[in-house]
């Protein structure tokens, strides 16, 4: 439940700048009116009757200012959710063709393997068509939103209106064709549950992981498209709106699937990194400390000191608790009393 609430709060947080802008637009005129009110309202007349009349007028004017400000703040925010959150697609860098990278100095098989990997990665990261589609959809949206002033008689205006409508419909048809070329087909959305998709796009987006901000912007854009598709439109027919709605639903389902996959990959990568670091620490302990015989020449070449570290415990974070034991050995031709080994625990 906590994860769902955090996800919903983060979804509506992306509309916070637009709400703050609306509040600022309503607050600034009210503040300016209050400043003017303070400058104008002055009681210079000593007559009590005039002061009473002036105070009543000032109170009425102040009430009007406050009421106007309250009315501006009481406007529903649903209109803000109908707008798309700004999302720049043209700034996404296009990956270079890695297959042309020179890998001289490697063996032939390794070079061929590297080239195959580069080609596969380049195909997976190819976003040129998506960027071009985004620009084309943006230009089509601007053309549909543009208001045309028709001139001439009624018959001429009808012809101009018909030409404009046909040109806009052709632009929409081109966008739909490009969407199908990229695999975004409305028929694939027929098996989707829209309510489940809406709930998952609001409550199942992981915070601060796997391109969270982009996923939330896409979810907000999908909600805006659904709300717009329910309204009557003279420019787009019902079938066209349904088709675009299906394309958006299928695209959102694909984005959510990719988001969940990226989250799983990030968790696996973090786990793999932790295990790798643990193995590196264990290897370092094995190479440097475990059973490492350090012979130190002490004073003469006859007496050697060796230090052996024995592991006695392994902590939860893979650190090893070591117990050092010092061995003093006499390496000469000693007597029987001198051949004994003293062990001193530190």
The pLDDT value given to residue 313: 39
Is residue 206 one of the residues assigned to a domain?
Answer: yes
* Structural domain for 333, as ranges: 296-345
Give dist(CA 25, CA 13) in Å, integer. 19
Is residue 237 one of the residues assigned to a domain?
Answer: yes
Residues 270 and 300 in one domain: no
Estimate the crossing angle of helix 194-203 against helix 212-229, to 10 degrees.
140
Residues 8 and 34 in one domain: yes
- What's the start-to-end Cα distance of the chain, in Å? 54
Strand order in the sheet with 320-330: 296-297, 303-314, 320-330, 342-345
Of the three residues 77, 105, 138, the one that is the final residue of a domain is: 77
The pLDDT value given to residue 88: 63
Contacts of 175 (CB under 8 A, 6+ apart): 133, 136, 137, 140
Is residue 210 one of the residues assigned to a domain?
Answer: yes
Residues 253 and 162 in one domain: yes
Tell me phi and psi for residue 144, to 5 degrees. -70, -35
CA nearest neighbour of 203 among 265, 270, 261, 260: 260
Of the three residues 234, 250, 280, the one that is the final residue of a domain is: 280
How would you write the pLDDT of the chain (346 residues) with one tens digit per residue? 777 777 777 777 787 888 888 888 878 888 888 887 777 776 666 666 666 777 777 788 888 888 888 877 777 777 777 777 766 655 555 555 544 555 555 567 777 787 888 888 777 777 777 888 888 888 887 877 777 777 777 777 788 778 877 888 888 888 888 888 888 888 888 888 888 888 888 888 888 877 888 888 888 888 888 888 887 777 777 888 888 888 888 888 888 888 888 888 888 888 988 888 888 888 777 766 554 444 333 333 343 333 443 443 344 444 444 444 334 333 333 344 433 443 333 3
Residues 179 and 210 in one domain: yes
Of the three residues 256, 280, 304, the one that is the final residue of a domain is: 280
Is residue 69 one of the residues assigned to a domain?
Answer: yes
Residues 270 and 307 in one domain: no
Residues 61 and 173 in one domain: no
The pLDDT value given to residue 100: 53
- The total of other beta-carbon atoms located within 10 Å of residue 215's CB is 22
CA distances from 141 to 53, 250, 267, 279 (A): 57, 20, 39, 55
Give dist(CA 229, CA 222) in Å, integer. 10
What's 58-123 look like in SS3?
A: HHHHHHHHHHHHHHHHCCCCHHHHCCCCCCCCCCCCCCCCHHHCCCCCCCHHHHHHHHHHHHHHHH
The pLDDT value given to residue 35: 80
The pLDDT value given to residue 343: 38
Is residue 291 one of the residues assigned to a domain?
Answer: no
Residues 262 and 310 in one domain: no
Residues 264 and 140 in one domain: yes
Threshold 0.75, pTM exceeds: no
User: How many domains, in total, are found in the chain?
Assistant: 3
CA distances from 73 to 60, 67, 82, 137, 219 (A): 20, 10, 18, 34, 26
The pLDDT value given to residue 156: 79
Residue 11 CA, chain-centre distance (Å), reads 11
Residues 258 and 304 in one domain: no
Give dist(CA 147, CA 166) in Å, integer. 15
Side-chain half-sphere exposure of 148, counting CA atoms within 13 A: 18
R_g (Cα) of the chain, nearest Å: 37
Residues 273 and 320 in one domain: no
Residues 203 and 271 in one domain: yes
Is residue 99 one of the residues assigned to a domain?
Answer: no
Is residue 115 one of the residues assigned to a domain?
Answer: no
Residues 196 and 260 in one domain: yes
Is residue 105 one of the residues assigned to a domain?
Answer: no
Handedness of CA 265, 271, 273, 275 (dihedral sign): negative
């Amino acid at each position: 439940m906590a994860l769902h609430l955090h996800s919903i709060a983060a979804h509506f947080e992306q509309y916070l700048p637009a709400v703050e802008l609306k509040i600022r637009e309503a607050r600034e005129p009210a503040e300016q009116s209050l400043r003017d009110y303070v400058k104008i309202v002055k009681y210079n007349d000593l007559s009590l009757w005039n002061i009473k009349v002036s105070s009543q007028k000032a109170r009425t004017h102040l009430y009007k200012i406050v009421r106007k400000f309250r009315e501006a703040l009481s406007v529903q925010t649903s209109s803000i959710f109908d707008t798309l959150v700004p999302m720049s697609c043209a700034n996404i860098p296009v990956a270079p063709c890695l297959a042309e990278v020179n890998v001289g100095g490697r063996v032939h098989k390794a070079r061929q393997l590297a080239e195959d990997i580069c080609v596969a990665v380049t195909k997976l990261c190819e976003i040129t068509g998506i960027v071009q589609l985004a620009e084309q959809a943006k230009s089509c949206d601007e053309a549909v939103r543009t208001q045309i002033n028709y001139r001439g008689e009624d018959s001429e205006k009808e012809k101009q209106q018909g030409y404009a409508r046909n040109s806009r419909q052709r632009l929409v048809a081109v966008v739909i064709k490009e969407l199908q070329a990229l695999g975004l087909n409305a028929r694939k959305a027929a098996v989707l549950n829209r309510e489940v998709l809406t709930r998952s796009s609001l409550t199942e987006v992981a915070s601060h992981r796997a391109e969270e901000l982009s996923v939330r912007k896409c979810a907000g854009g999908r909600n805006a498209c659904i709300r717009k598709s329910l309204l009557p439109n003279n420019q787009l027919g019902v079938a066209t709106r349904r088709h675009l709605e299906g394309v958006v639903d299928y695209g959102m389902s694909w984005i959510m699937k990719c988001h969940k996959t990226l989250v799983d990959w990030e968790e696996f990568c973090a786990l793999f990194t932790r295990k790798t670091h643990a193995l590196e620490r264990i290897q370092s302990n094995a190479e440097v400390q475990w059973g490492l015989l350090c012979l130190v020449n002490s004073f003469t070449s006859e007496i050697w000191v060796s230090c052996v570290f024995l592991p006695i415990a392994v902590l939860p974070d893979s650190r090893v608790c070591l117990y050092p034991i010092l061995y003093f050995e006499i390496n000469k031709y000693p007597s029987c009393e001198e051949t004994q080994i003293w062990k001193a625990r530190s």
